[in-house]
Amino acid sequence: MLPYHAKEQPPRMTDQPVSIIVLGASGDLARKKIFPALFALYCQKHLPDRFHIVGFARTEMDQEEFRNKIIENLTCRYSPGESCGQRMEEFLARCEYFSGEYDSQDSFLSLGQRLSEIENHRETNRLFYMAIPPFVFLGVSRALKSAGLISPPGSNPWSRAVIEKPFGSDRDSSDKLVNEMAEVFAEDQTYRIDHYLGKEVVQNLMVLRFANLVFDPIWNRSYIDNIQITWMEDIGTEGRAGYFDQYGIIRDVMQNHLLQMMALVAMEPPISLNAQDVRDEKVKVLRAAPPLELKDLVVAQYTASNGHEGYLEEKGVPEGSIAPTFAAAVIQVKNRRWDGVPFLIRAGKGLDRKFAEIRIQFRPVPGNTFCDPGTVLDPNELVIRVQPDESVSYRIMNKVPGLEMDLKETDLNLSYQAAFEKEIPEAYESLILDVLEDDQSLFIRADELAAAWDIFTPALQQLERENVKPETYPFKSPGPEAANRLAQEYGVKWK
Ligand SMILES: NC(=O)c1ccc[n+]([C@@H]2O[C@H](COP(=O)([O-])OP(=O)(O)OC[C@H]3O[C@@H](n4cnc5c(N)ncnc54)[C@H](OP(=O)(O)O)[C@@H]3O)[C@@H](O)[C@H]2O)c1
């Protein structure tokens, strides 16, 4: 059977020309994620016939050098075989590089002239992708505006800006950034990207919950015991300790990726798939979560082990840094559906496993006929594996085949690789397409960002004010014992 298309899918954009300006084009994100995603969209015919891409950064590079850097990361996933080389050539012919200063009106006046030439002096939509450190956003935006490159909100052709996290480092700095950026890009021109929301399995969360009947009646405090959301990496800061240390794992991963996944798990059904309706529901969940208290938070740093240096010994980490490389927290959502259900979230680097998943643990079966009095069988679990090996599995109790009445937990397992022939798109492909099609539902709205910071800001400030020393855990270990103790206080065991 053919797949259903959800109603309210935005119209495919075909003939409106667009220029995509990638600011910070010399950087890692641009080379490894953005250009490959744009190439994938090109191969799938999701870019309009008349599109151009201009990479902008300070580094001096000629066009050949730039294109050679880009081609290194392009893949033939959507255009296999002999045609791939030709597709790459066609794509690269639409890409060029422009070197300038980020806060210079002159640089952007020159870029504007070049854009007009490339665009044949026709009215063209413009997408500005800010793949630059956040402290550069404002200077760039003001310079773009003063050079006349940005059209006002609601106009045709449009101008839109994609900005990358971190969006501030607490509620105040985030508000400041939001307000200052709003002088240049209105909220409906601003796409605050959290690439976890573009991941296929995360996008499936709403479908799983709201396009199936079976989950709805049990998706609440009467049936769900706890929800665990985990993000783990088995590598350290990989030479980026200087950058990482300014933020730590709570700001880098928890306040955004994990909280966004939590909001999708906990939200009420939106009345439509429209961006406002979806984001309204997510904001309600975040606002129903009181600020995290230190008693519900464990922070830790990895120490030298398994031939790897400890975090504090890494180049770029200030002496005595208290930036956590691991954190575990229990968040409560004080609304009618969730009151009393702990949301346990944890994120860490330098651990013994690499995965991200959402685990919904149901309550044990009461009065179970199969158990001796006092024995409780392990409860059902729904596990949504975000990465690697995307899957959705439902852990149920089953009779073991045989003459005895033995019971065993088994998985009803939907492995994406086995179930779907289609290539799983990279998160950036899906999200950049949404920007082109003006669908903001998977981007963080300003009030959503504020609500997310409200959950973490008081705890972050207290940690820093009181100079709370993180717990420790050896590199490549399961993490600090304190995280297990925190879970135990809520009667939960991390899986
Ligand atoms: N890498 C990822 O996977 C990832 C994931 C999520 C979010 N992000 C965010 O995305 C943005 C870009 O990431 P990235 O990894 O590409 O960063 P990056 O390599 O450190 O920086 C991107 C470019 O910005 C310019 N730049 C760097 N430091 C600068 C400074 N102090 N002042 C002015 N320009 C500077 C550099 O270009 P020129 O020197 O040539 O101008 C550099 O090539 C960052 O905000 C990051 O937080 C990245």
Looking at the structure, tell me whether residues 201 and 159 fall in a common domain. no
Cα distance between the two ends of the chain:
37
Same domain, 213 and 285: yes
Question: How much is the mean pLDDT over the chain?
Answer: 94
**Quick one: pLDDT band at residue 373, thresholds 50, 70, 90?**
confident
- For the segment 111-129, the average pLDDT, to the nearest whole number, is 96
CATH number, domain of 35, equals 3.40.50.720
Helices of type H across 11-72? 28-29, 35-43, 63-71
Same domain, 155 and 203: no
Cα 377 to ligand 1 centroid, rounded to whole Å? 50
With a cut of 90, say whether residue 79 has pLDDT above it: no
Flag whether 282 is in a domain.
Answer: yes
Helix axes 200-210, 427-436, angle to 10 degrees: 70
Q: Indicate the range of 142-146, 364-368, 481-485 predicted with least confidence.
A: 364-368
The predicted pLDDT at position 372 comes to 84
Chain center to CA of 95: 27
User: Does any domain span residue 33?
Assistant: yes
* Single residue among 164, 180, 207 that ends a domain in this structure: 164
pLDDT of residue 150: 96
Ligand 1 pocket, residue 134 CB under 6 Å? yes
250 with 312, same domain: the answer is yes
Ranges 6-10, 32-36, 219-223: which has the least confidence: 6-10
Are 126 and 217 in a shared domain? no
Choice from 29, 141, 167 to test ligand 1 binding pocket (greatest atom count within 8 A of CB): 29
Question: Does 308 qualify as catalytic in the annotation?
Answer: no
Domain that holds residue 75: 18-164
- Mean pLDDT on 108-122: 96
181 domain-assigned:
no
Across 270-292, average pLDDT: 96
Number of domains composing the chain = 2
Tell me how far apart the alpha carbons of residues 142 and 458 are, in angstroms, rounded to a whole number.
Answer: 31
Q: Is the CB of 427 under 6 A from ligand 1?
A: no
- Residues 377, 451, single domain; the answer is yes
* Lookup result for tokens 């665009």: 119
Q: From atom 3 of ligand 1, which residue's Cα is the shortest distance away? A: 29
Question: By the 8 A CB rule, do 359 and 228 touch?
Answer: yes
Last residue of a domain, one of 139, 164, 189: 164
Report yes or no on 126 lying in a domain: yes
- Kindly report which listed range (82-91, 138-147, 309-318) carries the lowest average pLDDT score: 82-91
pLDDT at 481 (0 to 100): 97
pTM score over 0.85: yes
* HEC-encoded secondary structure of 384-427: EEEECCCEEEEEEEEECCCCCCCEEEEEEEEEHHHHCCCCCCCH
148 and 238 co-located in one domain: no
Mean pLDDT of the 292-309 span: 96
| pLDDT for residue 329 is more than 80 | yes
Catalytic residue among 46, 52, 195, 257: 257
Q: What's the burial of 86, exposed, middle or buried (CB within 10 Å: 0-12/13-18/19+)?
A: exposed
Residues 60 and 130 grouped into a single domain: yes
Ligand 1 and 164: CB distance under 6 A: yes
pLDDT, position 454? 98
- Domain contains 171: no
Residue 371, pLDDT score: 83
pLDDT of residue 9: 55
pLDDT in tens, 20-39: 999 999 999 999 999 999 99
- State the average pLDDT over residues 349-362: 97
Q: Judge whether 386 lies within some domain.
A: yes
Residue 4 reports pLDDT greater than 80: no
Mean pLDDT of 158-184: 96
Biggest CA–CA distance in the chain, Å, is 83
Q: According to the model, what pLDDT value does residue 1 have?
A: 54
The reply to whether ligand 1 has any atom less than 6 angstroms from the CB of 100 is no
Domain identity same for 304 and 408: yes
Amino acid present at 392: V
Give the closest residue (by CA) to ligand 1 atom 8.
Answer: 164
pLDDT at 166 over 60: yes
90 lies in the same domain as 234 = no
The predicted pLDDT at position 10 comes to 52
Q: How many angstroms from the chain centroid is the CA of residue 425? A: 14
Q: Is the pLDDT of residue 14 over 80?
A: no
CA 345 to chain centre: 15
Decide: 136 in ligand 1 pocket, CB within 6 A.
yes
Whether the predicted pLDDT of 66 surpasses 90: yes
Q: Please give the pLDDT value at position 228.
A: 98
Q: For position 7, what pLDDT does the model report?
A: 55
Which ligand 1 atom sits closest to the C-alpha of 57? 41
Q: Are residues 251 and 338 in the same domain?
A: yes
pLDDT exceeds cutoff 70 at 3: no
- Residue 247 class from Cβ within 10 Å (0-12 exposed, 13-18 middle, 19+ buried)? middle
Residue 431 belongs to some domain of the structure: no
- Which tokens is 83 given? 């045609």
User: Which of 111, 146, 164 is the C-terminal boundary of a domain?
Assistant: 164
Residues 67 and 142 in one domain: yes
Least confident of 8-12, 149-153, 166-170, 209-213: 8-12
Atom of ligand 1 nearest to the CA of 27: 43
Spatial neighbors of 411 by CB under 8 A, at least 6 apart, are 393, 394, 395, 396
pLDDT digits (tens, 9 = 90+) for 449-470: 999 999 999 999 999 999 999 9
What CATH number should be reported for the domain holding residue 370?
3.30.360.10
Q: Does residue 344 fall inside a structural domain?
A: yes
pLDDT at residue 2 in the model: 57
Q: How confident is the model at residue 13 (pLDDT cuts 50, 70, 90)?
A: low
Residues 412-433 have pLDDT tens digits of: 999 998 889 888 899 999 999 9
